[in-house]
Structure formats: structure tokens, C-alpha cells
A and B are shown apart, each in its own frame.
Chain A
Amino acid sequence: MGVTTMGGGEHSQLTRKDFVSDQEVRWCPGCGDYSILKAVQTVLPELGIPREKFVFVSGIGCSSRFPYYMNTYGFHTIHGRAPAIATGLKVANPDLQVWVATGDGDALSIGGNHLIHAMRRNIDIKVLMFNNRIYGLTKGQYSPTSELGKKTKSTPFGSVDRPFNPISLALGSEATFVARSVDVFPAHLKETLVRVAGHRGSAFVEILQNCNVFNDGAFFDVTDKGVRDDRTLAMEHGKPLIFGKNQDRGIRLKGTRLSVAEFPPGNPPADLLVHEESDPDATVAYILSRISPPEFPLPIGIFRQVAAPTFDGAIHDQVAAARARGAGDLEKLIRGPETWTVT
């Protein structure tokens, strides 16, 4: 997939360095956040959008330190509230590219309400949710994506708390762009970032991210070099869902049930499920969001991208329509419907 150019294009060519701030990066050595930061800093200069148009808004958590490291406008806010703050910012200034950097605790636990409402409104913000399935900054409690039975500092006998599936949640919240990528798949991550940058509307990207201190290897059974081709499914729009090191397996849909079909390499059966990311009905995307190893591969890529009017656009359309009928007369407004004069 090629790089799409957005914006005017006459802006002087930016490089990755233009997006690197002068702040020392303070994530733990080996943290998956480094590769996400690098991917973002690599993709942004290729978009043809002036640097000053980017704003990164974050909440609280390791991932939420992200804005400090980006040489763009940035706002490190409070726990869980980044989507709400980003909503006000985007409505205030629709010309901006507003990105939210968040984590599984920030977005799905304390900020769950803001996330789902931002998604359903189709406010034009791009939420990058780093999912490491743990609370890192508070040093190792289970998160809303931690697996059932997980032993952590706060669950010494194993977690009895059933986790969220972030993709299912985003689809259920009516997000118009929903994708999944992985910290250690830089090419895939960059492609996904380019696509999300070009989307207008609420976008949600789950990025599987390794916390090598408190939850090391959470995704290794999927992302390790030796297994990744067999255990991940890179979805491509308009193409049958095929995976495996030898490209010898595919996904079938019968009714609401998916199954894996095996076939000789290069000779897929005709009834494999063809990925339709722009399907206005999110049902199949939702079904795909439910599968994971060992029975199935883990789908990565874009589950859904549909065009819909944005919330910020609709607000400004209403204002513009009212102003087109005549700008407000403040004197008249203050006078109100009835006045009397005392002489």
C-alpha cells in the first residue's frame, strides 16, 4: 500500500526528526512503546500535513507520556479523559489532526465512558490504544484486558474479572474505523497508521504492545517470529482471508460461525470469506473480532472503515447554517423578547 498524501502538499518536506521532541524518552528499556513512537514519527512526515496541525492528547499511564516525545502540539491530561478533552479540542478547531494516545487501563477502565461516546459520535479523532494487558505505571495490577485467572499484584489468587475485547467494544460503540496492529510489526503498524491518518471520523486502533517489565511476553504466542505467520491473519480489503506461513489456510463464514479451511498453497477454495472493511453492517467485522488462537489466527489490520458525517463537521454545519441566515445581533439578544422604556 502506498503512502497517501493529504493536505496541501506544498509544505516543505518534513522528516522523522521534525517530529522528535527534545525530551528524554523515559519508558523502560525494551518497552514496546518505543517502536510505536518510532512508527508514528516515521509516518507523520509522509502525510503532507503541516506539523503544527497535529495534536497528541493523552490520559494517564505509560502510553500517555507519548505527547511529550512528539514535537507537535500535545496535551497530557488526566486519567481516562483524553477522548473528552480531544473532543472539545477538535470541535474548537476542526482543522487539526487530533490523535489520542492511550492504554488499556486509561481507555477501557477509567475512561470507558468517554471512549464509547467519542466513538459513537464519530468525532474526528484517532485513538491509538496501546494494549499491554496490564497496569504498568502503577506497577503491575491486572487491567480490563487481562485474561481471566491472571495472577498480578492485585490478584494473587488469579483474576476473576472477565476482560473486554477492545475491537468488539469499538465496533459496538459504532466507531467508523477499527483496526488492530502490533508493536513488533513495524511495516504493518505504519500502514495502519497511514490509513487511520486518512480517515475522517472516530478511529480506534488497538496496538498490541509488550510490557517487558510487568507482563513480558503477553503476546509472544502470537507475535514471535516463528509463529506469527500461522497465528495472525492480516486482513486486506476485497481479498479472501488467507493466512499461514505457506498461505494454506483460510477463513470461512457459515451463518454466524467462522471456521478454518485448509487447502494446497496457491489454490484457495472459492468460498473463503472475502474481507469487506467498508461493509456498512458491522456484523461480520464483529464476528471476526471474536476469534483468536489457538483455534483461529488473530486478525490484524482494518476490521472496519466506513464513511459517515463527523460530529465536529455537523456542529459547524449547524452554526454555519444559522450564520448564513444572518450573524447574531447581540444588542437584540440582550434586549430579549419584551422591553419597556422608563423616561
Chain B
Amino acid sequence: MSIDISSGSGRAGRSGRAGRKVEEVETVAVRFAGDSGDGMQVTGDQFTSTAVIIGNDVSTFPDFPAEIRAPAGSLPGVSGFQVRFSNHDIHTPGDQPDVLVAMNPAALKVNLGDLKPNGMLLVNTDAFSDSNLKLASYSSNPLEDHSLEGYQVFKVELTRLTRTALEHTELRKTHGQKAIDRCKNFYALGIMYWLYNRPLEPTLRWLERKFAGSDELVEANKLALTGGYNYAHSTELFQCTYEVAPARFEPGLYRNISGNTALALGLVTGAQQAGLTLFYGSYPITPASDVLHELSRFKEFGVITFQAEDEIAALGSALGAAFGGCLGVSATSGPGMALKGETMGLAVTTELPLIIVDIQRGGPSTGLPTKTEQADLLMAMFGRHAESPLPVLAAATPGDCFYLAIEAVRIATKYMTPVILLSDGYLANGAEPWKVPSLTDLPSFPVQFRTESEDFAPFLRNPHTLARPWVKPGTPGLEHRIGGLEHEDVTGNINYDPINHERMVHMRADKVAAIANDIPLLTVEGPDQGDLLLLGWGSTEGAMVGAFEQLTRQGKRVARAHLRYLNPFPRNLGEVLKQYKRVLIPEMNMGQLALLIRGRFLVDAISYSKVQGRPFKVAEIKARADEVLARESV
């Protein structure tokens, strides 16, 4: 499907509902919250898809529990999805939602604290039974005890209304009331669509695709969506409705994309640009499993996926495939990274291209499997035995996962080295409008396998890249052995000589360090010199951009830079750091980049640490920057 929109002009939403005030707003954040079985993620996804089709900029924050179905109505079972949509460029899902849709008391209890003062609160009153109130640890009903007076509360009998609307459906007849009750999320979505003047068609069409072959589900969910919409319209539930105009985007073709989808597409594209078959070995782990799900569908691109018996075999198989001449890739999260360490060491010493993606989550151990964190940076840098350096990249936005996946392929194959690509749960599941690139604009780097047997030696290096030749087993005359034992350069023969070992350790390190000459310089937004540099990496970029813009508007001499290359660092990083009185590094860890920056450059960088399993808010970074600036001026 494709819709044409003129940027920043016209109204894609519905208009002309006589007698009701329509107010233009710039940006709105809505949070849908309910039980993990209430369909909040799909509701949020649909609201997001519709917003991007209208032409809003969007940013999302899905936040769901580790339990698939925690006990119904309980606090740990609450699942939320925040979507912010805007008529201008935005970078975060919003610090505080303007609207909270709470499907039950537990969802209210968990999320109310985030809602803006005087924010809109839509509650399903039918769920506020004594037992549900007790499950949510409410001693009195918040709908009756005046505790919600600071908000605009809209009480809706969502369950009863949905039952009434769907009373005569085929689904009711064949599957009973429970199935009907599961449609109430779309009833709530219909209400929100009316409130924000959104078209229903994209979701109606999505329902037809999603439930193709199950006409009763299509019918019931469509009825629920339109029922909610019409209910809001006819009952004058809201005094006015709101419009958020399309954002001004750079002209081009756009789609909505999550980090994991972008990563999967980037890997397929990278393999194609290298002229290689993609072999993806993986073991299911949150939040990386979606990459396996995506890639396993791409057989028509020749993509091979292998669900291995464990994390070790997942990367082992990818390394075996790399030895065989494929692009070997494995994605995982922290605990899986720990298991893959030994294999990475083998890839480092045998100098085979390999891509390891770490989609970070809260830890250590099982930790917070569905929450985000950036605490694997030092593991990516150093978390292997012995001296085993490898390039480390980190995506900054969901869409950036696409480009850095391609870049990881380029570096791995050009330099014959394993590469770690860092993402995190926030990027993986978060979505944004994304300008679809044209394949012709992407770099192409076809791999040349060695086939010439004359003067062949397995570790005879390209003098420019220091890369050794890549030979596909099966090539006549180039039979050779590689392995984990220390070997001498050129021949690859086992060699335990102490000086040889030192030489090889340096050789491997020099090869990786020299990649700094083949990556972009660090770009700085803001003044070339100033009081404060906001330095970040990974998914903190959105919040840092927001803070930077606010500080700049207030006339502060603040600049911002974001590292996508963490090893090697961009070669101008040291110079950039020197241009600012202070460097502030917000990270969702205990200061890991700050440690690297201090250690590498002797710069007294200030770490701003947050480890709550949730991304930074713009206001938090802004406040910390203000504090630092205030201290400086004293």
C-alpha cells in the first residue's frame, strides 16, 4: 500500500465533524496499558502504523513483562506501549504520556505515575472489580476515592460496550464471550482514533491481512474498532478532538521500521552487497529472537537460518559457515554473548569474517529480559580471553541498525575479522518512520575469494588492509589448515615461539586499529568549542538530541556527538574531546564508555548513569547537563 502525502500541508485526518472543536497540537504521547494478554502491543503498533501513514513523525516504546501471561490483573503482568506522534522531527517516545489508556487497575497503578499532570486517563471501568483492585494492591477504588482528581478521567465500560457491539457476530456464536472480550483493545483503539482524528482504514485493512481466512475474527475486530470510534463520536465523550498534522519529512519513500526488522534487512542487504550467502545461526533469546523469525522467512534471497542447540553452537555454526565462504552471523543478548566468547576468540585468531550482534538487555544473568540496557559495552570490547580485539559498532536508532549491519559486513569481509554490532531492547522493539534507501545508494563491496594457488599462503596479508586471503574449501590447490593454536604469519604453521606470539598479538591488534582510517570522522552538532560536550553511543541518541536542542535554544554553549564506532574510535575523537570544558556521557550502565574515554584520552569525562531498564528521558539529561554547566560557571 502506498499513500501520497505532501509534507506539512493538508490534513490527512478526518475533519468536518460539525459542532465539535478540533484543536491543533504539535505532539502527543499516548500510552496503552493493560494485562499482557490484553493486546496492548498490537494496539500500540496499529496506532503507530496509522500515525506514520498520516505522515506524523513517531517514536515508540513498547514495554512488556518477561512473563508471557503473568496472572491476569496482577502488577507484574502489566504490558504497555507508548507512542508519541508529532508534526515535527522527534527523537524519543516522550518523557511523560499525555494520555493513558488503562485497561485494568494494575495497569493504572503501574503507569499513573508517568502520566502528565492533568493528563487524559481513559479507564475500562468494567475491570475495576474488587478482586482486580485487590490484585493491584488498591485498598480503595481509585475511580471513587478522588485520588485521580489531578487528571481528566474518562470512564468507559469497555468490556460491556464491546460485548454489546459484538453481540451478533459470528465470533460470539462460535467462540463465545471470552473471544469477544479479547476485542476490547480495538474498541479502545477506535476511541483513540476518534479523539485524534485518525483514519480507520489502515487498521481495517491490516485486520483483513492479519486474520485472512478467519472471517469471524476480521468481522469482530472491525466491529470493535468502528464501535469504539462511533461510541466516542455519538456520546460526546470528549469535549474536543485533536489533530496532529503531518511532520515535514525530507521528500522520499518512507516506511515504519523497528530495530530488529532493520537489522534483519541490513544483514540480507549486506550479504547481497558482498556477494555472499547469508548464514544465520541463532538460539532463541529475548530480545533477539525476532531477527531469527524475520530471516527465516527470506529463503527466496538464499538466506540460510539455523536454530542451533545452544548459543555456542549458534556462533560455532556461523563460524563454520564463514570458513566455508558464507557470511556467518549470529545475534543474541548478554547471556548468549557470554557463551559465545570462546568462539569469538577463535574467529579473532583464525581471522575469519563473522558478525555477532548483541541486542542488550538488563542483566546480569537473566536480569530484565524484556527491558533495555547498555551494559555489555565492556564485554564487547574486552569480554574475551587474552588479547582479542575486534571492531565494535553500535546502532543509534532503529533505522540505523540497517546501515550498521551493512557496515559490519563491509568491515568483517574487507578486514577478515569478527565484528560485534551492539543494539539494545529499546532499539530492537522501538519503531520510527524510516526513509527507504535505494539500493543503488548503498555501498557495494563484492568479496574476492582467493582461487589462485600460485604463491598462496593462508596468512599472506593484503599490505593495505592486513587481511589474509579468504579461500573456500573445495578450491583445488589451496588446501590449508587453520586453527586456534598460535601460528606464524604467512604460512599459518603452528608456532610457539615467544617473539612470534608477540608479533602476532600486535599484528591482530594493528589490523583492527587501522580500521580507524576507513570509518567516518566523528561529527559534532553545535559549536566547535564550548562548555559542554554531550557524548553518547547507542540508543541514548534520541534523548540526547532532545536535551541538546533544549540547551541550545537556551543559548548554552553545548555540543553533541554520538559514537557509532566504538572500536576503533573515530580518529578525531581525541581532538573533539579537547574542545570542550566538560564532557558528559549519559549511558544505561555504570559508566562504561566514560571509563573507556577516561582511560584512552585522559579526559575527565563525567558519567551519567541510569540502570532502570528504561531509556533516558530528555528532561533527565537536560537537568544533568544544567547541573554540570552550573558547576562549571561557579
Nearest CB of chain B from residue A100's CB, rounded to whole Å: 11
Asked if B324 is at the interface (CB within 8 A of a chain A CB), the reply is yes
Nearest CB of chain B from residue A65's CB, rounded to whole Å: 9
Q: Are A88 and B320 CB-contacts (below 8 A) given A117-B313, A336-B257, A340-B52?
A: yes
A132 to B152, CA, bound (A): 77
Contact yes or no, A336 B298, CB < 8 A: no
> Would you give the 0/1 interface string for A83-96, flagging 1 where the beta carbon is closer than 8 Å to chain B?
01111111111011
Contact yes or no, A338 B319, CB < 8 A: no
Asked if B342 is at the interface (CB within 8 A of a chain A CB), the reply is yes
Which one of A142-150, A226-234, A317-325 is at the interface? A317-325
Which A residues touch B346, using CB under 8 A?
77-78
Contact yes or no, B304 A73, CB < 8 A: no
Contact yes or no, A67 B2, CB < 8 A: no
Nearest CB of chain B from residue A102's CB, rounded to whole Å: 14
Asked if A212 is at the interface (CB within 8 A of a chain B CB), the reply is no
Contact yes or no, B252 A68, CB < 8 A: no
Considering residues B255, B298, B300, B438, which has the most beta carbons from chain A within 10 angstroms of its beta carbon?
Answer: B300
Closest residue of chain A to B1, judged by CB?
A338
Which A residues touch B281, using CB under 8 A?
88
Partner of B5, one of A81, A335, A340: A340
Nearest CB of chain B from residue A315's CB, rounded to whole Å: 6
Asked if A313 is at the interface (CB within 8 A of a chain B CB), the reply is no
Closest residue of chain A to B303, judged by CB?
A319
> Would you give the 0/1 interface string for B298-324, flagging 1 where the beta carbon is closer than 8 Å to chain A?
111111101011101100111111111
Contact yes or no, B300 A57, CB < 8 A: no
Nearest CB of chain A from residue B418's CB, rounded to whole Å: 14
Q: Are A323 and B481 CB-contacts (below 8 A) given A23-B493, A81-B313?
A: no
How many A residues touch B, CB cutoff 8 Å?
A: 60
Contact yes or no, B309 A114, CB < 8 A: yes
Asked if A51 is at the interface (CB within 8 A of a chain B CB), the reply is yes
Contact yes or no, A96 B473, CB < 8 A: yes
> Would you give the 0/1 interface string for B207-224, flagging 1 where the beta carbon is closer than 8 Å to chain A?
001000000000000000
> Would you give the 0/1 interface string for A157-173, flagging 1 where the beta carbon is closer than 8 Å to chain B?
00000000000000000
A149 to B209, CA, bound (A): 65
A60 to B436, CA, bound (A): 47
Partner of B481, one of A73, A114, A333, A340: A73
Asked if B479 is at the interface (CB within 8 A of a chain A CB), the reply is yes
Contact yes or no, A323 B299, CB < 8 A: yes
Q: Are A91 and B255 CB-contacts (below 8 A) given A21-B481, A74-B483, A76-B484?
A: no
Known contacts A89-B320, A91-B321, A113-B313; 7 additional CB pairs below 8 A are A68-B481, A70-B481, A76-B484, A76-B485, A87-B320, A340-B2, A342-B6
Q: List 24 A-B contacts (CB under 8 A).
A: A52-B479, A73-B473, A73-B474, A74-B481, A76-B482, A77-B484, A88-B323, A88-B328, A91-B306, A92-B326, A96-B324, A114-B312, A117-B313, A323-B299, A323-B302, A325-B300, A327-B301, A331-B438, A333-B265, A340-B3, A340-B52, A340-B255, A341-B3, A343-B251
A-B pairs with the 10 shortest C-beta distances? A76-B483, A88-B320, A92-B324, A88-B317, A322-B299, A84-B316, A84-B313, A74-B481, A328-B301, A85-B320
Interface residues of chain A, those whose CB is within 8 Å of chain B, are 21, 23, 50-53, 55, 57-58, 60, 67-68, 70-78, 81, 84-93, 95-96, 113-114, 117, 315, 318-319, 321-323, 325-328, 330-331, 333-343
